[in-house]
Amino acid sequence: MKMSLRLTPVILLLLGGCTVGPDYQRPSMALPVHYKEARGWQQATPQDSASKGEWWAVYRDPQLDALLRQVSLSNQNVASYTALYRQALALAAQSRAGLYPSVSYDASTTRSSSHSDGQRSTGNAHQAELSASWELDLWGKQRRTLEENRASAEASAAELANMTLSAQSELAQDYFELRVMDEKIALYQRSVAAYERYLTVINNKYQAGSESRGTLAQAQMQLESARSTAQDYQWQRAQLEHAIAILLGKAPADFSLPVAKLSATMPAIPQTLPAGLLQRRPDIAEAERNVAAANAAIGVAVAGYYPDLSLSASGGVSASAIQSLFSLPNRVWSLGPSLSGTLLDFGATSAEVDQARAAYDSKVATYRQTVLSALQEVEDGLVELNTLQGEIAAQQRASDAAQESARVTRNQYEAGMIDYLDVATTENSSLSEQQSLLSLQSTQWVASVELIAALGGGWHASQSE
């Protein structure tokens, strides 16, 4: 018993061991205290108690809600990253199992025959064996491997979240562009109908000799130009619809989105402090977890300098007759430690450590660049939306003025005060200004989605823990 007590601290030391390699610390990153382009931006009050999952709910568009809920279920790119995440979890579980002993069994029955000096000998052999082995993690190699794989699994979870957010953001942008495209098509359809009426009136006047051939040609050109643009918008809408179908994991032939007016509400975008991006951006979380995995990999490489100690034991029975297999004289067993290591490798282990350290430095640089890119995306989104507000207001006034000018010239033409050339000019200007307004509104919807995605959407770092 005294001997057992003396050995206990030694056994605990062997089981506990130490962990070589650097302990992880998140890379330092100097962040600004505010966004440069946030001046004049009306900040919405954050609703921390509200669900952060369905970020698109702020648009209050039922059709958009229905579409975006399908992305995480049906998008094939998301499905691919989901499978990669499950693979990373399984790898981490495999590493965890390496910290514990493994037990295996073997049972066999053979019949053999041999000839010697004209004599033939035939016999049976039966064997059953149970064995156990355990590699003691003296230097923390296996613990560092588990740490690396856990960090990689967390990076995979963030990568999945980033891919899902990217697909949702892309679908929302396509959806808003398609809805504005519907309004452009409707605008040109109204213009085509008006130009057809003009052409009919002018053709009647031309037949009566009260209108020139040039005026008739002008009216015909204006009508056909509007028809051409309307057709151009039709195929652009079809391509947007096809893109949405693919994002939903469907064949374009199996999906259609009926024409409808855009009923969404432009949201007030809640801001987060620059430091908050470290928690809200899944791509930043992925980059940071990759740094943690690379740091653990250094420890795995450093452990290559030290020997591996394994304990193994086996026991079983072996006999020529199966009925006597489990009798006491037929028992066999073995027990013993095994120590293995490298005496000379001409710098191979040192090179592996250098590779691991260089990989870590690379991941740190990638992490810092990801943070900087995220800050740029938010700044770009803020300045774009700020500028678009004033630009759209000015364009709205220009569009209203152009429509009023077109109305006045139509009345003057019908009263015989001016030529149709003046009507065609003002009608074209009015159509162009209305089209420009719709294009700016489309850009505004897309920019709002991009800014929400740049702020991390509805994702939060705690979701991957």
What DSSP line would sit under 271-334, residue for residue?
A: P--GGGHHHH-HHHHHHHHHHHHHHHHHHHHHGGGS-EEEEEEEEEEEESSGGGTTSGGGEEEE
d(CA 103, CA 108): 17
Predicted confidence band at 8 (pLDDT cuts at 50, 70, 90)?
Answer: very low
Q: How many CB atoms lie within 10 A of CB 142?
A: 23
The pLDDT value recorded for residue 126 is 66
Mean pLDDT computed over every residue of the chain: 85
> How open is the CA angle 180-183-189, to the nearest 5 degrees?
145
Q: Per residue in 272-311, pLDDT tens?
A: 778 787 778 899 999 999 999 999 999 999 988 888 888 8
Task: Give the mean model confidence (pLDDT) for residues 112-130.
Answer: 68
Taking alpha carbons only, the member of 301, 307, 296, 291 closest to residue 354 is 301
Task: Give the mean model confidence (pLDDT) for residues 345-368.
Answer: 93
Q: Assign residue 258 a region: left if phi > 0, alpha if psi is -120 to 50, beta otherwise?
A: beta
User: What are 21's two structure tokens?
Assistant: 């390699």
In the chain, where the domains are located: 11-74+137-306+346-464
Q: Assign residue 134 a region: left if phi > 0, alpha if psi is -120 to 50, beta otherwise?
A: beta
Report pTM. Answer: 0.84
Predicted confidence band at 439 (pLDDT cuts at 50, 70, 90)?
Answer: very high
More confident residue, 89 or 52: 89
- Lowest-confidence region among 68-82, 186-200, 302-316, 422-436: 302-316
User: What are 75's two structure tokens?
Assistant: 């998008």
DSSP conformational letter for 36: G
d(CA 227, CA 220): 11
Contacts with 110 (C-beta within 8 Å, 6 or more apart), sequence order: 124, 125
The pLDDT value recorded for residue 454 is 92
More confident residue, 45 or 238: 238
CA distances from 428 to 78, 298, 435 (A): 46, 68, 10
d(CA 415, CA 113): 120
pLDDT of 455 > 80? The answer is yes
* Residues 424, 222 contacting (CB under 8 angstroms): yes
β-partners of residue 331 are 317
User: What is the fold of 11-74+137-306+346-464?
Assistant: Outer membrane efflux proteins (OEP) (1.20.1600)
Task: Give the mean model confidence (pLDDT) for residues 177-181.
Answer: 97
Contacts with 7 (C-beta within 8 Å, 6 or more apart), sequence order: none
The pLDDT value recorded for residue 230 is 94
The pLDDT value recorded for residue 39 is 65
17: three-class secondary structure by DSSP: coil
Give 195-200 contacts, CB < 8 A, sequence gap 24+: 195/219, 195/222, 195/223, 195/226, 195/427, 196/223, 198/222, 198/223, 198/420, 198/423, 199/223
* Residues 330, 319 contacting (CB under 8 angstroms): yes
* Residues 35, 377 contacting (CB under 8 angstroms): no
User: What are 36's two structure tokens?
Assistant: 């440069």
More confident residue, 325 or 184: 184
